[in-house]
Structure 1
């Protein structure tokens, strides 16, 4: 991928920037608007100045962390073009901050990505206070949501130029950018049929110069773009697709909360918070079953009833503009 600073998109819509946002404004205006927004000049604590490479290495300790390691800057969840490895936290920080490595797994210019996990990765959610207690007091998480809605706080570290796959999350979240600049490209939920999904991930990795002969519908997407500076918070509403590029070595904390009531809509066995809502997951399974039922019909009948089902879904579920 070429230098992200050199890539421009005339069609991109700049995400709004709100300074000194209050809890009331966030709850009354920003969250109900259901659009991404950069929140600037909010106190995130001493982490903004304290979280240097040396400080994190000294205070983060030898706690082992599971990471993604790739020889390419574009990590693709679908093709799995990376390896899962484990490093002591302080060693990960040191390597991720380098461009050339004396010690490495794949190559001396490999890329690193940490998405922190719970103590038991199959059951526990990520929580900075639990997994990184020695660093937790350095960061202030804005109280923009009810305490009982909190789901997780995810520590993220990325090598310079690292790009993550396009995906959506099931919960509202704030991406707190602590160190380094970051570029985030977002697509609204209404573009779901233009993003060539496998599960909650898009097949299209190169969103800046996509192969439109292979992905023609991608030309229809409505692109939003945010450039984050250290200290910025990006509000990402649930279901908004996002693709993230670290323009520099980056440190961030993602905070997720259950924005819908009742909370029983969410799968309680989901430690990552990215499984479809329980009613939606059941509906998708029913659709897959319905497709199997008509699969044996002649092609013209299958086409006819497929279109009927699609039209019924459109009439009953789409927001009519």
Structure 2
């Protein structure tokens, strides 16, 4: 990698006022400490969760490998009782009951009541434990999009991806390693839709993905009782270091009418961006009618226009300035 890793900054004794006045406007990730999260940090043991929530069925990602690959789909969706999921995911040795192998991994991303229409709402889907957790709400109620319970096995690693909405990841139990990338690094991540094929950002295959060597990694370890703020469009990769339980809260940074209305997962690009990408696909298809040297010439002209319009230092609120800072630091 060309650039040494950056550490995600830690901010102590965070209040709503501090978040809104200093952290949020910077549009960079930060670990937030000192937020009162309620009794969940102390009470959410595997035994408590299993007993309190019970055997209600949930749909779970089950993966024979510890690295989940959304492109190759190396996992399957299975139904388990919540208590059975907790028991398997928190097990410290080989499993006695399993789908694929005694070392398989589990990952729950809670869904809405109707997964095709409803956004996840932690208080609605898990009322038995909702009052245990005090979620930070640093936005107007009208901006709220979803709150997602996440639970996983030690060692499970979620594919690199970005979210189109701002969010906080509230780590209730266990710890995670999180690697993030600024929006300006999109060219180096080989993104397809909102996902990258780079499964392990610390041990990448640079022969397959040589441009990744130019990316700037932001790295942190998120521990129990801490909250990670992740602005929209910051790609991230999450590795569970322990049996983990967390709740993700997403809210709309843009006006509500900028987002796709039929998007319960909140992973579709803003509607105007989606239309622009579709127009680009049509332009590329038009150029394909020309000989190769013409295609390259006009593609480069298009790239030059886009760079001039959108990728100047003034237009880039995070990545360009960060690259400049890196150069000034002797990188």
TM-score by length of 1: 0.95
Name the counterpart of 1:14. Answer: 7
Bigger mean CA offset, 204-213 vs 44-53: 204-213
2:259 corresponds to 1:266: yes
2:232 counterpart residue number: 238
Q: Deviations over 1:113-133 (max 9, x none)?
A: 000000100000000111111
Q: How far has the Cα of 1:10 moved from its partner?
A: 8.8
Question: Which residue does the alignment assign to 2:37?
Answer: 44
Is residue 2:23 matched to residue 1:23? no
How far is 1:313 from its partner?
A: 1.4
| Aligned-partner SS, 2:142 | helix
Question: Where does the alignment leave 5 or more consecutive residues of structure 2 unmatched?
Answer: 315-331
Q: How many residues align?
A: 312
Classify the secondary structure of the residue corresponding to 1:164: strand
**Which residue in the other structure is 1:130 paired with?**
124
Question: Hey, what does 1:219 align to over in structure 2?
Answer: 213
Partner residue of 2:327?
none
Aligned to 1:167: 161
Deviation digits for residues 41-97 of structure 1 (CA, Å, limit 9, x no counterpart): 211111101110011001112221111111110001111011110101111011100
Cα shift at 1:312 = 1.3
Q: Which residue number corresponds to residue 66 of structure 2?
A: 73
2:82 to 75, 89, 95: 89
Q: Deviations over 1:248-277 (max 9, x none)?
A: 0100000000012x2110111100111000
What is the aligned counterpart of 1:145 among 135, 139, 143?
A: 139
2:275 and 2:152 map into 1 onto residues whose CA distance is 35
Report the TM-score, using the length of structure 2 for normalisation: 0.92
Look up the match of 2:94: 100
Q: Deviations over 1:18-46 (max 9, x none)?
A: 11111111111111101100001211111
**Counterpart-to-counterpart distance in 1, 2:136 and 2:169:** 11
C-alpha contact (below 8 Å) 2:27/2:231 kept by paired residues: yes
